[in-house]
Amino acid sequence: MTNKQLLLGLAIVTGLSSCKQNAEESKDDSSYKTPEIKLESDVMTPEVLWSFGRLGGENISPDEKTILYGVSYFNKEENRSYRDLYTLPVEGGEPVQLTNTEKKEFNEIWRPDGKKIAYISSASGSTQIWEMNPDGSNPVQVSDIEGGIDAFAYSPDMSKIFYLKEVQAEKAVKDLYPDLPKANARVINDMNYRHWDNWVDTYTHIFIADYREKITAGKDIMEGEKWSAPVKPFGGTEQIAWSPDSKTLAYVSRKLQGVEYAKSTNSDIYFFDIATSETKNMTEGMMGYDMNPVFSPDGSKMAWESMERDGYEADKNRLFVMDLASGEKTFYTKDFDQNAQALTWTADSKGIYFISGWHAVQEIYKLDLASGNIKQVTEGIHDYHTIHIAGDALIATKVSMSKPAEIYNVNPETGDAEEISFVNKNILEQLEMGKVEKRWITTTDNKQMLVWVIYPPHFDATKKYPALLYCQGGPQGTVSQFWSYRWNFQMMAANDYIVVAPNRRGLPGFGQEWLEQISGDYGGQNMKDYLSAIDAVKEEPFVDENRLGCVGASYGGFSAFWLAGHHEKRFKAFIAHDGMFNLEAQYLETEEMWFVNWDLGGAFWEKDNKIAQRSYANSPHKFVQNWDTPILVVHGGKDYRIVESQGMQAFNAARLRGIPAQLLHLPEENHWVLGVQNGILWQRTFANWLDKYVKEAK
């Protein structure tokens, strides 16, 4: 690690002021050095959590010998992050740092001939494409596109590139009324006027340009269309793919507008013909999400991830393959009661590796197309995130509740994995992590539920510890072996809490029946599951049943609000982050109507709709009269999925009831907390509230 980044790490851990070298001073320092950060204790703190390097973007060189990836580091004093690029041999060895600048380098990819590494940088003042030699030398700007771009990729034959750019598809107020230049307003005529954390003033379009020494403009292949590709808010270049012959560009879009866009998840995969400029919908009639197309290396097939039902974001993620000559579609995971994602073709085009979750871990699997057989490749207590093929090996990233993402070389026959990146080795060696234990607990309807129990570091079975019930969001998000920089179980456990994290009803990885039970049953069986989990663990002699807390975000925040009115004095304190409090208001405030239509069952004015009426009857705001427990409410001002008024209503209700309450309002954050200082503030506020009302409870 360079001195600049080492000092950034020290600044976060020990509070030293930051000291950055400029890029000119550090040009010759291209070797990677493990950061020699000295921690003040061997348990997790908010500052330590934010000092971890965050690895991502890995891809393999065309000769399959070298891995390219990026690592982000955060500086508390500057309240910003830095991201630099590295390479690493696929068999492991010494990483090489390629960039060390004041800017962030991202979208790092190999040029198809392997002679250059390309990336996006704002070094010129806007985000443009740069290329450098594989050793990091001789960086050269190769695009000068007005306004900058968001992402790009080469065609396999290197004749063209595609790039993503925001376009304005509708007239703004200043265009409609040029004599009112100081008017600050929007004229809104339909839904989809804001999404996730942005007002929808522009759409992301795909442009295609000839690849040459200086790229200045390309052709908008979606000109005049009032929708985006990739699909917002999370879609990236994984939703766009060049065919191996460079003649076709596949991309994902949800080509709907207004109310219909807000009500639907029906995205499709489109083929754009480079020669004719014609666009064809390849998944027409498939009504749910169709995402992430991947061409087979021989160009004869396309694999993709598909959901069956429109309006259901948590439907089974199915693996489909299309024969491009005949158009025949084959559903390969019909008898596989699990999701499939991160599809990766074998070099011979005869198989597909993918990642799937089962019983709260994410493993690598392999599909053999000829037989249709699916084989599990890896096994352990971890979550795999990505897969790449490099000769006879798989290069993959994985995490656990006790370790952030690192790169591993995986044997595809045995599943054995060898870590090769070691980005956070120095920090991890100094930390004592709490034990993570898997338990199966019987629910009120006599089902078996997997519950993770995380113990404090230096756990002493002769002591009595306070315990926290963790309520998962989603609502259909598995409590797997994820590593979080916010809801970090080791962070909670390091503050001397037993953490109880149940995979309650409504989570994937336990079959479709378990998953789908929650829809239309908010406040029902899944709430009983939560209480079954905490009631079982509190019987342990090392748990103090008189010092229990309950925490959660999103649907977990809803859960905290709901349990506050039904917990029968089990808990001493609640924390609800970005939670739904008033479901009737939520129905009209959220921007993704498909979510509330599916999970709540419909609109609150549909008086004959029994499912919807049951949902609204279970809205947490209808049970505030039962609230009697201190509650911390956290909400982001740019959360447009669950808007800030939901949190404000809950806080106001608690105070009007005379209940101790605190509101942590983060005006610049969305459904997550992404800023460095805001993230550390979140952790401190979280811990202080629980310490006051749970740990110190009498």
pLDDT at 33: 46
- Residue 644 placed within a domain: yes
- Give the model confidence (pLDDT) of 338-368 as tens digits: 999 999 999 999 999 999 999 999 999 999 9
pLDDT for 639-683, tens place per residue? 999 999 999 999 999 999 999 999 999 999 999 999 999 999 999
Q: Quick check: 638 pLDDT over 60?
A: yes
pTM equals: 0.94
Q: What is the pLDDT of residues 435-449, one digit of tens each?
A: 999 999 999 999 999
Q: What is the pLDDT of residue 1?
A: 38
Q: Which of 1-5, 212-216, 222-226, 400-404 has the lowest mean pLDDT?
A: 1-5
Digit-coded pLDDT (tens) for 79-126? 999 999 999 999 999 999 999 999 999 999 999 999 999 999 999 999
Q: Is residue 332 part of a domain?
A: no
- pLDDT at residue 35, as a whole number: 53
Phi, psi of 623 (to 5 degrees): -125, 15
The total number of structural domains that make up the chain: 1
Q: Which of 383, 521, 544, 639 is catalytic?
A: 639
Task: Look at residue 3 in the predicted model and tell me its pLDDT.
Answer: 37
**For residue 538, what is the domain's CATH number?**
3.40.50.1820
Task: Spot the catalytic one: 205, 382, 635, 671.
Answer: 671
pLDDT number for residue 405: 98
516-538: average pLDDT: 97
pLDDT for res 487: 97
On the question of pLDDT at 60 being above 70, the answer is yes
What pLDDT score was predicted for residue 169? 79
Segments forming the whole domain that contains residue 555: 432-695
372 pLDDT exceeds 70?
Answer: yes
The order of strands in the sheet holding 318-323 is: 290-295, 301-306, 318-323, 329-331
* pLDDT (0 to 100) of residue 11: 37
Query: Nearest CA to 501 among 463, 473, 462, 461?
Result: 473
Per the domain annotation, does 195 fall within a domain? no
Nearest 10 degrees: Cα torsion 13, 19, 25, 26: 10
The residue-averaged pLDDT of 620-630 equals 98
Q: Which helix (H) or strand (E) holds 273?
A: strand 268-273
CA atoms of 530 and 467, how far apart (whole Å): 13
Contact criterion met (CB below 8 Å) for 470 and 479:
yes
Whether 593 is in a domain gets the answer yes
pLDDT on residue 657: 98
350 lies in some domain: no
pLDDT score at 12:
37
Look over the chain and give the mean of its residue pLDDT values, rounded to a whole number: 94
Residue of 84, 71, 70, 34 lying closest to 429 (CA atoms): 34
CB-count burial class (<10 Å; 0-12, 13-18, 19+) for 31: exposed
> What is the 8-class DSSP label of residue 268?
E
Residue at 689 is within a domain: yes
Q: Give whole-number Cα distances, 550 to 436, 468, 469, 575, in Å.
A: 19, 6, 5, 6
The per-residue pLDDT for 13 is 39
> In angstroms, what is the C-alpha Rg of the chain?
25
Q: pLDDT per residue over 184-205, tens digit each?
A: 999 999 999 999 999 999 999 9
Task: Kindly name the residue from 61, 554, 559, 615 that is annotated as catalytic.
Answer: 554
657 part of a folded domain: yes
Is 639 catalytic? The answer is yes
Q: Model confidence at 29, in pLDDT bands (50, 70, 90)?
A: very low
The reported pLDDT for the residue numbered 446 is 97
What pLDDT does 37 receive? Answer: 82
Distance of CA 38 to the CA centre of its chain: 30
19 pLDDT more than 50: no
Q: What is the pLDDT of residues 334-344, one digit of tens each?
A: 999 999 999 99
Share of the chain above pLDDT 90, in %: 94
Domain presence at residue 231:
no
The per-residue pLDDT for range 519-529, each reduced to its tens digit, is 999 999 999 99
